[in-house]
Amino acid sequence: MTSRERFLEVMRFNSKAPAPKWEFAYWGATLKRWYQEGLPERNYPAVPTRISTVSSSLYTAAWTHEWRKSRSIFERTFGERERRIELPNGIAVWGGALYWPSQGFPLDNDVKQYFGLDQSTYLVHVEQLFQPHFEPEVLSEDDKHIVYTDIDGVIRKFQKHEGVIPSSMAWPIKDWASWRQVKEERLRLADLKKRFPPDWPDWVKEYKNRTYPLALGGYPLGFFGTLAHLLGYTNLFYLYYDDPALVKDILQHLTRLWMAIWEEVLADITIDVAHIWEDVSAGKGSMVSLKIFRDFMMPCYRQVTDFLKGHGVEVILVDTDGNCRQLIPLFLEAGVTGLYPMEVSAGMDVVAARKDFPGLQMMGGVPKSELALGRDRIDQLLEPIDWLLGQGGYIPFGDHAIPPEVPWDCFKYYREKLNQMIDRHQN
């Protein structure tokens, strides 16, 4: 079976179909350690250097230190230029479970080849947020930091030596005036064809013959996530109370825009999954009240999930780190079909979630940091995974990017044993 077939059958709760063999991601420091400890280095992760879409290329300028270079917004991504640089410790290297391209992160090949992991999900190559982009520009620089404007208009600080994801300092939407300007200049409902690459017919041919799952949405598209991304978390929390009309206007416009773009996409190709990025949960629970979710996010979710299901998209997954337990009933009511990465360290329990919500699709749920505790602990961690695989609707992998404290030998033992479990459930 192809990775697309495996994914769709498992998400349909076919317990006899083998789950895709995927991982969420690995930090750059993790892969560098593993190369020293025995992972064969055949295709060192190469960082994409071309700016394509906001979803694909956020942070690209920071990783590559390329600024103000004339680049087409829609150069082919699968074959785009890449550069081998020493992996920053804090860059994520995608392991196939989500979608690629995303956030300027490279896609792993060496771990995939070593363990025979499945082909990644790919994100449709269409601009789903700002068109045109903001121009990347360095605002200040010293020995330790670069402060710059990214393609989404957010001013960020990049720590050169630590090499972690840049931190946000200022945001493009602050009030009604800035929102109206952004909406008029970069989020127009007219001229949707400008959001598609000039060689879209070639992409359509590629997609129609695909063997991998194809996704809409992705980072930073969400009904909490996009607003937190473009206004700042603290600013958004105040605006829910101080200016709810502004928040609702932003949400409703984004909802209309996304459905309009997706209508154009779905006229040409089928889509296997929609990914909605929220990160609305923290270590102890939701960052917003259930009332806020119902009042602001629920109406938009209902519109979008009804639209997607009406166009044959069966799988609608929400990416939220942290403890999302109290939000699961609301997500299901809103039409979402599944959640990931189910962070165990934040209190998520995939077995309990399956028993409480039998129809909930799940991905992740293996406590990443505990893989460092050795074989006996790994055996304990995988016992409930074996049961879940027999239920269908579940794809196991580490509950976020594998951290550098996990030795190669421990990861190797875990991944080989998990692969064997997946193979045993194949009929």
As a whole number of angstroms, the distance between CA 279 and CA 152 comes to 18
Question: Rounded to whole angstroms, what are the CA distances from 220 to 183, 216, 277, 358?
Answer: 17, 12, 6, 28
- pLDDT for residue 85: 74
3-424: CATH topology: TIM Barrel (3.20.20)
- pLDDT for residue 72: 44
How large is the C-alpha radius of gyration of the chain? Answer: 21
Contact 35, 22 (CB under 8 A): no
As a whole number of angstroms, the distance between CA 371 and CA 382 comes to 10
The domain ranges of the chain are: 3-424
- pLDDT for residue 311: 98
| pTM (two decimals) | 0.95
Residue 120 buriedness (CB in 10 A; 0-12 / 13-18 / 19+) = buried
As a whole number of angstroms, the distance between CA 176 and CA 354 comes to 43
Q: Which two tokens stand for residue 4?
A: 């697309």
Contact 388, 426 (CB under 8 A): no
Q: Which two tokens stand for residue 324?
A: 């999302």
Q: Which two tokens stand for residue 57?
A: 């290329």
C-alpha of 143 from chain center: 31
Question: Rounded to whole angstroms, what are the CA distances from 352 to 52, 327, 357, 369, 388?
Answer: 41, 15, 8, 21, 11
Contact 109, 45 (CB under 8 A): yes
Torsion angle, alpha carbons of 324, 127, 54, 48, to 10 = 110
Question: Rounded to whole angstroms, what are the CA distances from 319 to 310, 364, 376?
Answer: 22, 11, 30
Short-list 100, 60, 54, CA closest to 74 = 54
- pLDDT for residue 282: 92
As a whole number of angstroms, the distance between CA 348 and CA 354 comes to 11
- pLDDT for residue 68: 47
* pLDDT per residue rounded down to tens, the chain (427 residues): 999 999 999 999 999 999 999 999 999 999 999 999 999 999 999 888 888 999 999 998 888 776 544 344 445 555 556 667 789 899 999 999 999 999 999 999 999 999 999 999 999 999 999 999 999 899 999 999 999 999 999 999 999 888 889 999 999 999 999 999 999 999 999 989 999 999 999 999 999 999 999 999 999 999 999 999 999 999 999 999 999 999 999 999 999 999 999 999 999 999 999 999 999 999 889 999 999 999 999 999 999 999 999 999 999 999 999 999 999 999 999 999 999 999 999 999 999 999 999 999 999 999 999 999 999 999 999 999 999 999 999 999 999 999 999 999 999 999 999 999 999 987 6
- pLDDT for residue 212: 98
Q: Tell me which residue has tokens 């459930």.
A: 425
Q: Which two tokens stand for residue 322?
A: 């942290």
Q: Tell me which residue has tokens 């392991």.
A: 95
Please report the beta strands in 193-349, taking only residues with DSSP state E, as ranges in sequence order: 214-217, 273-277, 315-319, 338-340
As a whole number of angstroms, the distance between CA 337 and CA 333 comes to 9
